[in-house]
Chain A
């Protein structure tokens, strides 16, 4: 414990330096803007702004990108409450009661509760991250290629299991992502695979054009031709303070949302979306007056908002400690770290303590910055939504092209984004989730390398995966998940994933 506090002090000495504070602040502001804008979620936002960090050293760049990440999570709640448009997917549940509160004239209170809940959840879960990541990293030092292969496979299976809708469709998308990840030079033999003479494809297709195409461009393609968005409810500053009753009603949901969100965040999958869904369901179950849910229940805002922010920190645990991204957003963060020469994994904490602890401390600072930013400046952020969408989307499109090109200075990436945008648009229409594709693209080279190294270790014996206790356990858990996930194929009725899919479409309250 004393060592942890000592390390944290080192982290704060870095995070509170004026330069790092500045980058955390810039990241939070940009992230909030990204979260507020419909169509640019945290994933596309981080991908687009990655090139802007190229001139920075690793610590500043990571601090800024992390600021963008949790800033976007905060910003997403603003549009949910004021417009009933989730700025990012995790804010879907906030739309229901947040917008209902806004219509009752309690928009300011809903925003304040969301901001305070997010602050509490963000801060508490960073403490948990700080305590959990180092021991997990020490444990991960026992991992060899078979354990990593099992862990990566389990990550994909959990993501598929946790996806809303059909597990079969999610698994198909994960397989498609893994196949896309096969493009490029085979790391063990040097063969070019599926590159068709395009030299730029030698390094494979990058996660940035894939993410921006599937999430940014596909969203623009699907929404640009739709009717104008609904009106914005603008809160007054003096309405920002919730009443004593509202504070009382939000305290327990914030606590529960924080614990739930963090635990779900550690598990691979679209953690923050699931966390907010589960929290909403739990709060409604525990409520004395469940009939208020959907009509502006305070707990319906406090719980899901806390849960989705706690999940954001939770998602960093496997990424920092194991070097394994637990979802598409951590996958892009992992790629961003690698661009800056940082390899997250068990050795990161030992070899680059100033980066790890500086990052942890900057998350504390970022949460304070966001709390200070979000409430008084909410009117400024909301004004962005007054820009008509027919003017906003061409600008977002230009940023997509710029961001994707700038990563490698290559138009091939722009073509990849274009193709992924078309694919994402069609998959949206056919009701398929695209997040497993992004994770598949990132994990494919790691998975293949781990498989081939394992077979080289065991002289071609596949029994190595079940002979080693850790990999056998991980594969066993994966098998159980497949069984559970495919159960709805033989039983009747909606399981929780089907209900989540309906709630995301706004058809049903969970």
Chain B
């Protein structure tokens, strides 16, 4: 039976195996004199044990099919906006990136009006930039033409 704990435990086991594989490039050292790979390998072994225990003892956990994913469309859109922000922040600058991200979320995801979305997005980006960059002197990236 596919339960939440079984899925999570399986993922942790997989991650532990990946860490074992990736650690082979680093010197392991010895028990008495640990090298840079020693601690990651030890932790991966611990994670492997916990993951395996979760898989074995997962019988009473809720079934995976009972987990509700009703908000997945919103989650994917927000995730996409964050990825866009990470890609665009240093290319387009803070103000343009944030204004575009907010406009997309308000207009495209939340179905707010065009004018409201545009005004809110631009005003928010401008005020946040003024507050943090200009007043609090936290350097934020500028895009083409210093915008």
User: Contact between B90 and A394 (Cβ–Cβ < 8 Å)?
Assistant: no
**Is A133 located at the chain interface by the 8 A CB criterion?**
no
A460 B57 Cβ-Cβ under 8 A: no
Instruction: Tell me if A210 is interfacial: C-beta within 8 Å of chain B.
Output: no
CA distance A149 to B90 in the complex (A): 41
Residues of B within 8 Å of A451, CB to CB, are 34, 39
Select from chain B the residue with minimum beta-carbon distance to A188.
B36
Given contacts A168-B53, A402-B98, A414-B82, contact A425 B75 (CB under 8 A): yes
Are A430 and B67 touching (Cβ within 8 A)?
yes
Residues of B within 8 A of A224 (CB): 71, 74-75, 78
Q: Are A430 and B82 in contact (CB under 8 A)?
A: no
Among A182, A189, A395, A459, contact of B40 (Cβ-Cβ < 8 Å): A182
Which residues of chain B have C-beta atoms less than 8 A from A225's C-beta?
70-75
On whether the beta carbons of B138 and A51 are closer than 8 Å, the reply is yes
Q: Are B128 and A459 in contact (CB under 8 A)?
A: no
Complex interface: stretch among A81-89, A197-205, A405-413: A405-413
Q: How far is the CA of A401 from the CA of B8 in the complex (A)?
A: 28
Please tell me if A397 contacts chain B, counting CB pairs below 8 Å: yes
A222 at the interface (CB under 8 A from B): yes
Assess the A226–B71 pair: CB atoms within 8 A.
yes
A398 sits at the interface (CB 8 A): yes
- Contact across chains for B85 and A401 when beta carbons are under 8 A apart: yes
Chain A nearest CB, measured from B89 CB (Å): 5
Task: Check B140 against A430 for contact (C-beta < 8 Å).
Answer: no
Query: Is B114 an interface residue, CB under 8 A from the partner?
Result: no
Contact B98 A398 (CB under 8 A): yes
Chain B residues with Cβ below 8 Å from A459 are 32
Interchain CB contact under 8 A, B78 and A429: no
Whether A455 sits at the interface, judged by CB under 8 Å, is yes
Chain B proximity mask over A205-232: 1 for CB below 8 Å, otherwise 0: 0000000000001001111111000000
In B26-52, the 8 Å CB interface with A consists of 26-27, 30-37, 39-40, 43-44, 46-47, 50-51
Stretch at the interface among A330-338, A363-371, A416-424: A416-424
Cβ contact within 8 Å between A179 and B19: yes
Cα–Cα, bound, A54→B132 (Å) = 11
**Residue in B closest to A417 when the chains form the complex, CB atoms:** B82
Contact A391 B132 (CB under 8 A): no
Interface residue stretch chosen among A123-131, A169-177, A236-244, A466-474: A169-177
* Smallest CB separation, B140 vs chain A (Å): 7
**Cross-chain contact A402 with B94 (CB below 8 angstroms):** yes
A443-482 vs B, CB cutoff 8 Å, 1 = contact: the mask equals: 0100010011001000111100000000000000000000
Chain B residue contacts of A460, Cβ below 8 A:
30-33
Docked-complex contact A414 and B47, CB < 8 angstroms: no
Q: Are B79 and A431 in contact (CB under 8 A)?
A: no
Please tell me if the beta carbons of A402 and B128 are within 8 angstroms of each other in the complex. Answer: yes
With a cutoff of 8 Å between Cβ atoms, the chain B residues found around residue A432 in the complex are 8
What is the CA–CA distance of A52 and B138 in the complex, to the nearest angstrom?
A: 7
Q: Mark A36-52, 1 if CB is under 8 A from B, else 0.
A: 00000000000000011
User: Are A223 and B71 also in contact (CB < 8 A) when A169-B5, A394-B105 are?
Assistant: yes
Centre residue among A178, A226, A402 by max chain B CB count within 10 A: A402
Q: Which residues of A contact B54 (CB under 8 A)?
A: 168-169, 172
Nearest opposing residue in chain A for B121, CB measure = A394
Cα separation A421 to B58 with both chains bound (whole Å): 25
Q: How many angstroms from the CA of A402 to the CA of B124 in the assembled complex?
A: 12
Nearest residue (CB) in B for A427 is B8
Q: Which residue on chain A has the smallest CB distance to residue B139?
A: A409
Give which listed residue, B40, B53, B140, contacts A402 with CB less than 8 A: B140
Cβ–Cβ < 8 Å partners of A397 in chain B: 78, 81-82, 101, 105
CB distance from A4 to the nearest CB of B (A): 36
Q: By the criterion CB–CB under 8 Å, are A51 and B132 in contact?
A: yes
The interface residues of chain B lying within 8 Å CB-to-CB of A399 are 128
In the assembled complex, the CB of B96 is this many whole angstroms from the nearest CB of chain A, namely 13
A189 to B27, CA, bound (A): 10
Q: In the complex, A427→B54 CA distance in Å? A: 14
Closest 8 CB pairs between A and B? A460-B32, A225-B71, A225-B74, A172-B50, A186-B36, A191-B36, A390-B110, A414-B86
Show the binding face of B for A, using Cβ within 8 Å: 4-5, 7-9, 12, 15, 19, 22, 26-27, 30-37, 39-40, 43-44, 46-47, 50-51, 53-54, 57, 61-62, 67, 69-75, 78-79, 81-83, 85-87, 89-90, 94, 98, 101-102, 105-106, 110, 112, 120, 124-125, 128, 132, 136-141
Some 15 contacts from A to B, beta carbons below 8 A apart, are A51-B138, A55-B136, A172-B51, A175-B46, A176-B12, A225-B74, A393-B78, A406-B140, A414-B89, A418-B83, A429-B67, A430-B7, A430-B67, A452-B34, A460-B30
